[in-house]
Structure 1
Amino acid sequence: MDFASADPSIVKSIKQRDLLNTWLRLFARDRSIPSLEEYRPERIEDELPDLVFYTVDTSAQLPRLTIQSDGTRMSSAYGHSGKGRYLDEYLGARLAPIVMPVYYESIARRLPAYTIANIDDIYGRIVAYERLLLPFSDSGNVSHIIASLKTICEDGGFEIKNLMRGSDKLPAPIVRTIIDRDLYHRAPGRIPSGDVLEFG
């Protein structure tokens, strides 16, 4: 599975961009991924319905991700809660081959991943499923991942219940990237050092 190189501007959602910017601020200190304990985005409570927390076991040939908590959006989209289960088993044989490689790539590269896939709801409306993965480390290896999941439909309303399992069609990838460029956070309105402004 191929992943394009991207900078943080690839992320569409303002709230997901805020989550990424908090991660980038921590990453920029010594160019290494932060620990989960020091990750404290503002108003994260408002985002909890869209967040999924995983622990990562990298001792196996393929990392195993255990769902520690799943936001209400994920539970609705997949039809039931997955807390306490391995992610690949929760996804099942149909979805795991197209979803798990995104997590594996983020873990291997130790960098955020961002994807968009189009999915049909039960009424045939096209829904964009935007996924941002943020890796964290306690002692070298990736030990945790936070996933932010957003669903957007240009037609307005859509049915999120069983969104990921209710269609005969598999999700169609639109964007599949690793965010590996411009890994720093620039506060809005600030001028980068070295830039010269001319006033005429």
Structure 2
Amino acid sequence: MDFESANPAVIKSIKQRDLLNTWLRLYARDQKLPAVAEYRPERIEDELPDLVYFTIDTTQKPPRVTIDSNGTRMASAYGHTGGGQRLEDYLGPRIAPHVMPVYYEAIRRRLPAYTIDHTDDVHGHIVAYERLLLPFSDHGDAVTHIIGSLKTISEDGGFEIRNLLRGNATPPVSKLRTIIDRELRHHALDRIASADVLEFD
């Protein structure tokens, strides 16, 4: 599976950009992964319904990705909560081959991943599923945690999120798969110096 090289401007959601900027500010200090306990974005309470926390075991091959907690958006989109489960098992055999490579690439590269998938809701509305994965390490260089931000939007307006990703007969269609590996230090230092929210529009 191919991933494009991208800079932070690739992210559409302003809230996801802010989550990435907070990660970049920590990453810029030593040019290495921050610890998950250091990650405290402003107004994170507002984002909790869209956030999912994962524990990563890189001693397994492929790495074991376990859901620590999942926001209400993920639970609604997949039809049920998944705390304590392996992500691969939670996704199921139809969706896992499409989604797991994104996590594995973020873990392998130790860098944020950003993807956009399209799927249809029960009414036939096309829904964009925007996924931002931020890697963290509590020791050394190996990824020990991932925080995922999951956003759904439809140009048709309203849509049905319940069972959005599990109720469809076909897997989501990939529209964009990127690893954010460019201009990391530049954007982070700009944010530190100016204390302004970066805008890329």
Q: Does 1:105 align with 2:105?
A: yes
- Following TM superposition, the consecutive aligned residue runs of length 4 or more in structure 1 with deviations greater than 3 angstroms are none
Q: Deviations over 1:149-195 (max 9, x none)?
A: 000000110000000011112100000000000003223995xxxxx
Distance 2:119 2:153 in 1: 10
Specify the code of the residue in structure 2 equivalent to 1:142. V
For the residue of structure 1 that corresponds to 2:102, the secondary structure is helix
Distance 1:189 1:57 in 2: 36
For the residue of structure 2 that corresponds to 1:94, the secondary structure is coil
Compare 177-186 and 154-163 and name the one that shifted more: 177-186
TM superposition shift of 1:138: 0.7
Partner of 1:61: 61
Q: How does 1:32-111 map to 2 (within 5 A)?
A: 32-111=32-111
Distance 1:47 1:90 in 2: 22
Aligned residue pairs, count? 190
In structure 1, stretches of 5+ residues that fail to align are: 191-200
Q: Deviations over 1:39-91 (max 9, x none)?
A: 11000010000000000011111101110100000000000000110000000
Partner of 1:165: 166
- Which of the pair has more CA radius of gyration? 1
Q: Residues 120 and 169 of structure 1 are in contact (CA less than 8 Å); yes or no, is this contact kept in structure 2?
A: no
| CA-based RMSD | 1.2
In structure 2, stretches of 5+ residues that fail to align are: 195-201
Distance 2:154 2:171 in 1: 17
Q: TM-score, normalised by structure 1?
A: 0.93
Q: TM-score, normalised by structure 2?
A: 0.92
Partner of 1:131: 131
Q: Deviations over 1:67-123 (max 9, x none)?
A: 010000000000000011000000010000010000000000000000000010011
Distance 1:92 1:27 in 2: 33
Q: Deviations over 1:123-168 (max 9, x none)?
A: 1100000000000001121000000000000011000000001111
